Structure 1
Amino acid sequence: MTRLRGQGWLFFGSLVAAFLLQMMPLPQLLLPLKPYWVGIVLIYWAIELPERVGLGFAFLFGLAGDVLTGELLGEQALRLVVLAFIVLRFRARLRFFPMWQQALAVLALLLNDRIVTLMVRGFSGEAMPSSTFWIAPATGMLMWPLVFLLLDDLRLRLRGGE
């Protein structure tokens, strides 16, 4: 398998894994702790491979997520486009932040994602969520170093340890 093909498999495999983690059922008590896996993985790839992760890709990826999860069609698409836009806009800075600053930036991005979610759901007439709605971005911030280091290590191994 060529290096390019291996990296393609890692790219799409990580996105599929993120969808599977997002759809994984959890007990009701742990549900507020579930991070937005799809968003976290998209943030990683937008930082590392901006030529592959553009706004169009984020939109199509979000539509696929809407279809898979059964949410309001276009909700995840809008959320991921906003997320990708911000990451791509500030990519040059995010890329060279130390890990703790990247984690704080991911927290800010995931909090922004929650605000976009509230706006979309408010326009669709849904009720306001409970206060536990705001816990997941903190969990995403804590998971960021693990996701980043895992994907970065796999990517470097596929490149031949360069």
Structure 2
Amino acid sequence: MTRQRPSWLMPLSVILALVLGLLPLPPELQPLRPYWLALVVAYWVIEDPDRIGLGFAFIVGLVADLAFGSLLGEQALRLVVMAFILQRFRARLRFFPMSQQALAIGGLLLNDRIVVAAIHVALGIPSLLPIAWLAPLLGMLLWAPVFLLLDALRLGHWRRR
């Protein structure tokens, strides 16, 4: 017997990640903003691979490009690269302890920064500030709370019995 996930959870989590990405921060903290959308997409690619994949990552990335006013296709490319790597190693990653999963997600977020840097170099856009390379570390630390919250909501552990 398979448990049905709430149909509202995935769209709501993506919208919340977009809103968290749009919240204003002081200019000195802006480069440290975690890539919330990547954390949410990573969760869904790992936990619902039959329905969530590269197409989902691409569409969410295009929506994020429009919402954030960034180069059209940049976030779509970033999320597709991350989703592809996650799909490739999903079987192993699912059974890692949370600390090792967080390290893997941190590596993926660091890879994301490398992709952003490569895009900026290719297009002649000013490169990232050195402090921006710390954002993957923050995302790595946030992986466990994001994963556990979404998992509890998806599996219905928040309901009273």
Name 1:27's counterpart in structure 2.
26
The whole-number CA distance in structure 2 between the counterparts of 1:79 and 1:160 is: 35
Q: Does 1:55 align with 2:57?
A: no
Alignment partner, residue 82 of structure 1? 81
Matched letter for residue 90 of structure 1:
F
Whole-angstrom distance in 1 between the partners of 2:158 and 2:124: 48
TM-superposed CA distance for 1:126, in Å, is: 0.6
Compared with structure 1, are the counterparts of its residues 57 and 138 closer, same or farther at alpha carbon in structure 2 (3 Å cutoff)?
Answer: same
2:109 corresponds to 1:110: yes
Over 2 Å off, 4+ runs: 158-161
Number of corresponding residues: 158
TM-score for both structures, normalised by structure 2? 0.93
1:15 aligns with 2:6: no
Structure 1 residues 113-152: aligned runs within 5 Å? 113-152=112-151
What percent of counterpart residues are identical? 55
The residue that corresponds to 2:154 in the other structure is 155
Please state how far the C-alpha of 1:158 moved relative to its aligned partner.
Answer: 7.0
- The residue number in structure 1 matching 2:42 is 43
Q: Secondary structure at the match of 1:126?
A: coil
Superposition CA RMSD, Å: 1.7
